[in-house]
Each structure stands twice: as structure tokens, then as C-alpha cells.
Chains A and B, each alone.
Chain A
């Protein structure tokens, strides 16, 4: 088949995929803690059509052979972990992380990591007087020892900058930290895999320490990331950016479609050489 047609077709596929990524981002412009995805491209494998050595004539600038590619394809889609804007909600269980850290929740079989801190409580099956701290999808939030956090049902909860949960029960005053949220500093975003529900899990064969800095801040030292209670992190999607990219994709798609119809005309010319 015509090389031109192949290039155009391959590229239109890739552009379609890019449009899908943009649509995904735009759909999540209001999802708390959402991290936008970025698609990147590369040109597809280039073939070098061989030339006989007699083709090496004066005035030629390049080595022998005629190089020709096969369009371009999507090479990677990576999340952009940039921090989103903060939004005040006043709810003490709405948490936002200022910094690179992530919360850990107990997903189905594996620990999931998320930036979305709109937490909630649900009844604790094991202890009827307690409530379990869960995220918006109902996954239990983990503490520093990877255990679910069970809070006394009667009490006022406050969470400080270091992620320590302080419960003020009706009987007594402020107690010592009841539990501490697990916060892991993201060091290698490349090692995370997005699994939906705003959750990320560790890539195949990776340990937590490969992707995160898990050492807790020394007692006295400020932590690298701060937990802000009463705020949620908004999506980091920038609508203007996405719309600009969408226009870029549409025009590139149009241009490539023109190239495709042009090569179609060319094949028609070849076919109608003899009436």
C-alpha cells in the first residue's frame, strides 16, 4: 500500500488517542485530587530504502539511502503530579496535602495511593462504638503502621499539619495523637500506575521504598509536606491548556486527513491511467 496512506492512517489513530486523553482531562476538571494526563508522541520507525553505490554523486549531502517514516504514534501517557488549587470546605475530614506526599488507602488487595483527601467515616464492623475513616470511594485510610484508622464515634476530630489525628471526646479534653495518617513522599512518579478512582498503585515488582520516601520526619523537624484540614485539592486540569491542545489536535487531524485524501487522489490517478 501507499506509504503516504499508511503514515496518515497511523497518525490519525494516534491523534484520536490524544483527543481521548484530552477528553478524559476535561471530564475531570472538577474532580478533587485529579491529576491530569499528558500524552506524548514519537515518529514511527524509519525505513531506509537502499541505494546502489552509483547513487553517491557530487552534491549529495546525506549518506546513501532514502529514509522514510511511517507517521507518528503515541509513546506515553503520564500523569502530571503538579499540585492543584486549594478549595476551602470547612469540613475537618477534608484534607489537602501541600507538597509531594500522598495518602495511602487499603484498596482491594493492594495499597492504593491518592491525592484526594475528601475523607468520610463509615461504621466499623469490628467495633460498633467506632467509625472507620474512609476515602470517598469507601476504601479505609491507612495510618503509619498500614492499619485502618478507627475513630471513637463520639468525639470531635481534628487533624494537624503532620497528619496526626487528635480526638476530643465528650469525657476528657484533647488526647494525645490518636493515630497518624500515612503520608508518603512521592519521589519517582514513573513507578506509579493509575488504576481509576483517583488511585495509584505501585508498578510491577516495585516496593514502596522505590517510589516513595517513607522515612517519617524526625520529631522536631517540620515534615516535607503539610496536611491542611478543611480544604480539598482541586483538579490540576487547566481548561485553557486543554482547549488549546484540543484545537491543536483537531487541526493536525484535519491536515493529516487532507494528506490522506490527497494520496487517495493519487491512487485514483494511477488507476485511471488507461481510462
Chain B
């Protein structure tokens, strides 16, 4: 059969996947702490085509060139840029503001990350900016990470995330408050102070994940580490990050960009569909018209 038929079909499938990803972003345009995902496409491995047979022996084995036989949606990359902060004045709402730095071992200087937190050095190596997350624990006791700092206090005093995950301190212990839920303050380093302004020694566990793309999205606003040995540490005063009480971080989805992407995915799908139709007509001719007398 015609090879291109399958190439066009793979294009349709890929665009559908891209459309799915954009819809997911659009759906979460108002979700606290949501991080947009981008779909990344990659072409199928290249193949080298060479001639076989032929009348002139010199032509046999002649290389005709390389081409790809299709495309697939390779990965969904999260965009970890900060969403807009919104003031809520609630004592149990928190937002993280951070811009962590990494030193380039060769120069001793901090890497100049771009807006999306990426730096590509002269050898083409990509370095990603570490990102901060609130540390929470699910019902099985596994550590999870989230940017949604809209917490609540259970009747027992446990600080819980919106979806009911236990929030951890910087020693991986559950945070349990003793005073009234509306009467405590948290300073920029995440230390919890009681109503009288005395430090309680409990510090919100802000995890810094060195390889944020090594996180797997689980839904409910939480991420888990794909590699259990991945590098995670707790934020210290030396790091360039602060906790803001009474604020929440909005979604970082850009509605305009999403709309454009949605249309682009749809039209690219249509283009591929047209190509399939052209192949179909070609085949129709080959099957029904060639050889007709």
C-alpha cells in the first residue's frame, strides 16, 4: 500500500493527542496551582531508502535519501512557570514565590535561565531550573508534591491540602496545629507562628526538586517523583524562595495561547485528513481505473 497513507494517519492521531492536551489545559484555566502541559511531537525514526534491482547494475543499491514514516506525540511537558498570585486573606492559603538558581560548575556563575526555566549551553545540553513544591502525603504515606497551597485544618488540627492530603513539615512529619485555625501566621521562610507571634518551630516543608521534569502528574494537583532516588531537598533561608500566606497561585494556562493551539491542532488534523482522502482517491484510480478497457 501507499506508505504516505499511514504517515497521514499518524499525523491525525498526533494532532488529536495534542488537541486532548490543550483541552486539558483549557479545562484547568481556573484551577489553583495548575501547571499547563505542552504536547511535544517527534517524527518516527528516519529510514534510508535505496534502490533494489533495476536494469543497470550501477543503479542497484543506490541510495535515494532519507525520510520519516510518521509522527507521534512523544511527551507532555509541564510548564512550571509561576501562575498569577491572588490575595485571599485566608490564613490557610499559601503561595510559593521562587526563582532558584543553579551554579554552573565551569564558570561559578548562576545559569541564566529563560522565562520557561530552561538553559541550553553551547554543547546543546539542556539545564532546567529546580522548582519548589509543597510537600504532602497521601493516604498510603507516600510523599507527593503540589503547587496548590490552598490548605484547610481538619477538626483534629491536621493541615490538609484541598484534596485531603496531609501537609508535611521540613522533617517529613505531618503538620498538626494546636490553636484556632484562623489564628496563626506563617513567615516568608514557612515557619508557623502561633496567635501571639511566637515561633512554633514547625516549618512548612517546601521541597526543591532539581529535575522538575522528572515529576509525574497524578491529578488532584499533585505530582510524584518518577525516580525514587531523584534529587529533592527542603528549602532553606539561603534559597531564593518565599512562602506567602493569604495568597494562592492561579493556573499558569494562557487562554489566548491555548485557543490558538486548539485551532492549530484542529486544522492540522484536517490537513492530514485531506491527505488521507487524496491517497484514497489515488488508490481508487489504481484499483478501479487502471486496466479498464
A contacts, CB < 8 Å to B:
2-4, 7-8, 10-11, 40-46, 48, 55, 57, 60-63, 65-72, 75-76, 78, 80-82, 100, 185-191, 203, 206, 210-211, 213, 248-249, 251-252, 255-256, 258-259, 262-263, 265-266, 269-270, 273-274
Contact = CB atoms under 8 A, between A and B. Distances in A.
A3 B16 CA distance: 9
Given A62-B75, A66-B17, A43 B221 contact: yes
Given A43-B24, A46-B218, A66-B76, 6 more contacts: A8-B26, A40-B150, A72-B27, A210-B156, A262-B266, A266-B19
Interface in B144-184: 148, 150, 152-157, 162-163, 179-182
Contact of B27 (A8, A81, A249, A274): A8
Given A4-B19, A76-B162, A255-B258, A63 B24 contact: no
Given A46-B218, A266-B19, A187 B179 contact: yes
Given A61-B75, A266-B19, A269-B270, A67 B217 contact: yes
Contacts of B218: 45-46
B32 A65 contact: no
11 contacts: A41-B28, A43-B220, A57-B42, A61-B126, A68-B21, A70-B24, A100-B182, A191-B155, A262-B262, A265-B266, A269-B273
B12 interface: yes
Nearest to A265: B266
Nearest to B128: A61
Interface string B188-231: 00000000000000000000000001101111110000110000
A216 B145 CA distance: 41
A60 B75 contact: yes
Contacts of B90: 80
B28 A72 contact: yes
A57 B227 CA distance: 17
B23 interface: yes
Contact of B74 (A55, A68, A206, A249): A55
B163 A42 contact: yes
B276 interface: yes
Contact of A248 (B30, B32, B74, B163): B30
A259 B221 CA distance: 22
B259 interface: yes
A10 B73 CA distance: 24
B94 interface: no
A266 B16 contact: yes
Contact of B227 (A63, A252, A255, A256): A63
A187 B216 contact: no
A262 B263 contact: yes
Contacts of B263: 262
A82 B17 CA distance: 44
A3 B20 contact: yes
Contacts of B128: 61
Contacts of B156: 210
A68 B31 CA distance: 16
- 4 A-B pairs with least C-beta separation: A191-B155, A11-B27, A63-B226, A45-B219
B269 A259 contact: no
Contact of B76 (A10, A43, A67, A210): A67
Contacts of B74: 55, 60, 66
A71 B27 contact: yes
Contact of A188 (B32, B42, B181): B181
Contacts of B152: 76, 78, 190
Interface string B220-248: 11000011000000000000000000000
Nearest to B73: A66
B34 interface: yes
Contacts of A274: 277, 280
Contact of B154 (A60, A69, A188): A188
Contact of A255 (B154, B163, B180, B259): B259
B8 to A, nearest CB: 10
Contact of A82 (B16, B89, B216, B266): B89
